[in-house]
Amino acid sequence: MTTTLSPANQAISATVRDIGRAALLELGVVAPEDPITPQDGAWVLEKLQRAIDQHNARMEMIYSHSFLQFNLQANHAPHTIGPQGDFNLPIRPVKIVSASFILNAASANPVDSPFLNMRDDDWWAANPLKSLTSSIVTDLYYDAASPLGNCNFFPICNVANPVRLEIWNSLAQAINLNTSLGLVQGYWDAIVLDLAVRLAPSYQRAVSMELRESWNRAMRIIQGNNDGPPRIETSSGMPQSGRGGRPDFNFLTGMRE
């Protein structure tokens, strides 16, 4: 076993080989003293890669967000994001959670503007003047294309100015059986048990009630930590309250108020 704890017992690192062997042990495919075979190892690696890829697309599995600063190119649209894009990242973001246009960037006290609105494809389709330019950006529609996402800022910024994007931090992908994965609290058991459940059909093993309950419990711990309650917005004049606004349809009268 090469699973290790940090000297302060605050961080966990486990190889793909050990995660896979633990999952097969949960299913009763291997005995505690048996090593993982090359054939089993190859299948375990693929299943784990597919599982992590799926987890990275689910908000409730994302344990942290990053706030990254990028520089806009003047009169350029859209800005691509991902490997070798205008905003260079190892992988294109599944989602951009929020964005800020940075004012007074060259000063000692730059300010993240609070009014850069995240927009959807319906808003972008209805925008009649996509080529409008300005020195200040007020909106962002993110098209999560692949392999590069497209950041459609509006208006198109006519000066080189920084923006700050809030994106999901993805789980590290498993490269090979010797890849050591750093696991934050709660993920070690969840990854092992999730892999065991995914491997069960391949080995013609039934998922026992005990295993399924342990898997459900481990996943609930992660999802409960990551997926907090939604923030309520009103139109009462509170700061940032105008993004959604209160609905104006009265279901009792069938009329708008």
Question: What backbone torsions phi and psi does residue 219 show, to the nearest 5 degrees?
Answer: -70, -35
In this structure, what is the dihedral angle of CA atoms 154, 160, 166, 171, given to the nearest 10 degrees? 120
Say if residue 90 is in the same domain as residue 36.
no
Q: What is the DSSP letter of 132?
A: -
What is the token pair recorded at 207? 């998922």
Q: How many other CB atoms sit within 10 Å of the CB of residue 11? A: 13
Say if residue 33 is in the same domain as residue 102.
no
Find the helix or strand (DSSP H, E) in which 153 lies. strand 149-154
Say if residue 183 is in the same domain as residue 219.
yes
What is the token pair recorded at 209? 């009630």
What is the arithmetic mean of pLDDT over 240-245?
A: 49
CA–CA dist 254, 257 (Å, integer): 9
From residue 13, alpha-carbon distances to 5, 187, 202 in Å are 7, 11, 27
pLDDT value at residue 245: 47
- Per the domain annotation, does 75 fall within a domain? yes
- Per the domain annotation, does 247 fall within a domain? no
CA–CA dist 63, 81 (Å, integer): 21
Say if residue 9 is in the same domain as residue 76.
no
- Per the domain annotation, does 239 fall within a domain? no
Say if residue 147 is in the same domain as residue 79.
yes
Say if residue 181 is in the same domain as residue 123.
no
User: Which residue, of 145, 168, 191, is where some domain finishes?
Assistant: 168
Which stretch of 20-34, 113-127, 238-252 has the lowest confidence by average pLDDT?
A: 238-252
Say if residue 89 is in the same domain as residue 44.
no
Q: Where are the alpha helices (DSSP H) in the chain?
A: 16-27, 38-55, 121-126, 187-199, 209-226
Say if residue 93 is in the same domain as residue 185.
no
pTM of structure: 0.76
Q: How many other CB atoms sit within 10 Å of the CB of residue 3? A: 14
What is the token pair recorded at 70? 């990028």
Question: What backbone torsions phi and psi does residue 181 show, to the nearest 5 degrees?
Answer: -100, 125
- Per the domain annotation, does 255 fall within a domain? no
Per the prediction, the chain carries an average pLDDT of 87
- Per the domain annotation, does 109 fall within a domain? yes
From residue 78, alpha-carbon distances to 68, 130, 148 in Å are 18, 11, 11
Q: How many other CB atoms sit within 10 Å of the CB of residue 232? A: 7
Q: How many other CB atoms sit within 10 Å of the CB of residue 122? A: 9
- Per the domain annotation, does 256 fall within a domain? no
Percent with pLDDT over 90 in the chain: 70
Task: Give the domain extent around 93.
Answer: 65-168
Structural domain total, the chain: 2
What is the token pair recorded at 248? 């104006």
CB-based contact 154:140 (threshold 8 Å): yes
Say if residue 147 is in the same domain as residue 103.
yes
- Per the domain annotation, does 232 fall within a domain? no
Binned at pLDDT 50, 70 and 90, residue 252 comes out as low
> pLDDT tens across 38-70, in order?
999 999 999 999 999 999 999 999 999 999 999
- Per the domain annotation, does 243 fall within a domain? no
> pLDDT tens across 83-141, in order?
999 999 998 999 999 999 999 888 888 899 877 899 999 999 999 999 999 999 999 99
CB-based contact 97:117 (threshold 8 Å): no
CA–CA dist 68, 79 (Å, integer): 15
Say if residue 179 is in the same domain as residue 163.
no
> pLDDT tens across 186-216, in order?
999 999 999 999 999 999 999 999 999 999 9
Say if residue 144 is in the same domain as residue 159.
yes
Beta bridge partners of 56: none
* Count of CA atoms in the C-beta half-sphere (13 A) of 185: 6
What is the token pair recorded at 246? 């209160």
Say if residue 72 is in the same domain as residue 27.
no
